[in-house]
Amino acid sequence: MLAFQISWQVLAPLPEPRAALLHAVVEGRLLAAGGTQWQDGQKLWSRRCDFFDPQTNTWSPGPPLPMPRADSAAVEVGGDTFFLGGTSDGRVLDDVIVFDGTNWQSKPDMRLPAPRSYAQAAIVNRRIYLLSGLEKTGDIASARSDVWMWNLDRPDDGWTSVSQIPEPARSNYGFVVLDGKAYLFGGVSPTANGFRNLAESWSYDFARNEWTALPGVPVATRAWMAAALQNSILLLGGYTDRFVDTVLNFSPGSKTMQHSGRLPHGLADARFLQIGGRLYVTGGESGMKVRSASTWEGRPER
């Protein structure tokens, strides 16, 4: 694998610091909606919606969410972004909403079989997949291993169960889809006395419905982020016993991992999205109950 480093540029900050945001790329702009923050020891959910334009390095307001929302899985289908499950004011959701770039719309026909937060979503061959997640707010013991599928060409079939993530049940893992496979790295799993971070990694072949164990990550990590870039998978930030600023580069071909630099500061519970060959991230958690307003642009350099 030809290694590359990521150089980071600090951009205009998010107007209001939040984590667990709903993210999407909409006509070349970064959508940052909802999310959570802490005030006077209380966790608050937001309806706020903002757009970031990388061309002008500016933020502009967008249409507010129908209700406060965070921790939703997201998948883009033909220019629309589907947000599945999540949390709102302390409860876990089982609904689905769609953003078409201008309006938010509820999809009652797509209601999930059970509530899920911190799930992950993928779109492969016009099938939406939803993987795992928590059934109760902030309760790692409620982590589930289900893999559900929604066929966009056969909506009357509803959600069907197609697989289970290999044990143990987990949440908050790095997740990305590349070349028809999902990749899962680390995460957090319940134990008899609480929970533990994971160092194991897996790939899932959607067409074959097949799981394959991968080499483990260097340090057991949860709440980190994964992004596909130049046929590699980047693993960014996360939490071990501290907030991490490391960037790792995993090659699906050679199954090897190298360092690709560091973030400007430790960050967890965010999402890195690609626009024009560069990575963008905003918000996230930079300390215990500390929300970040940072916005960064990452550029690969050989």
């080499």: which residue's tokens? 215
- Cβ count within 10 A of residue 237: 27
pLDDT on residue 131? 98
| Structural domain boundaries in the chain | 5-301
Q: Strand pairing of 174-178 and 160-164?
A: unpaired
pLDDT on residue 1? 46
Structure-block tokens of residue 197: 């971070």
Q: How far apart are CA 132 and CA 150, in angstroms?
A: 15
Q: Does domain 5-301 have CATH number 2.120.10.80?
A: yes
pLDDT digits (tens, 9 = 90+) for 56-108: 999 999 999 999 999 999 999 999 999 999 999 999 999 999 999 999 999 99
Q: How far apart are CA 190 and CA 169, in angstroms?
A: 7
pLDDT-above-90 percentage for the chain: 97
Number of H helices, E strands in the chain: 0, 30
pLDDT on residue 302? 76
Which residues of the chain carry a pLDDT beneath 50? 1
